[in-house]
Amino acid sequence: MLAIALLTSASCHPSPPSIETRRVHVQQGWELQPGHSIAGHPIVAGLGDVSIRLRGNTLYAPFDGKVEPADVEDCVVFSSPTVPAYLLRLCGLSRPRLGIVKQGDRLGTGHTVHFATLRKQPDGTWAIVEPSLNLIETALTPP
């Protein structure tokens, strides 16, 4: 009886809406970049990524924004109306929180996270640029 009640109550809750994968066309075309592999081993970071050892700690939203799955395995894209000309590609988060987030919300945890900051170019592509120390510090500091 209890099992039927639990199954019935679980089926009453709608599943979270599916979030589209975000394709980011990076202007620079390096041979070795996240999403590629060498001898069957995946590349998880590349030129322009900053790798931070989180040691299982939490990464936080630096601004109000949106988190979408990236077209690169094990990565998400963070965008914000606060900084509309920039995106953050974050790779290596465990169970990342997808969808709309508020500044200070938990984005996920992980052993090592790889940050790439991208700036929108006039032709609509994105260029990897040096990340802001303050932005990364905000993402690493609990609210």
Dump pLDDT digits (tens) for 97-107.
Answer: 999 999 999 99
Rounded CA-CA distance 3/109 in Å is 33
- Quick one: average pLDDT of 65-77? 94
Asked if pLDDT for residue 14 goes beyond 80, the answer is: no
Instruction: Determine phi and psi for 8, rounding to 5 degrees.
Output: -65, -45
pLDDT of res. 20: 80
pTM: 0.77
Q: Is CATH 1.10.645.10 the right assignment for the domain spanning 22-29+45-132?
A: no
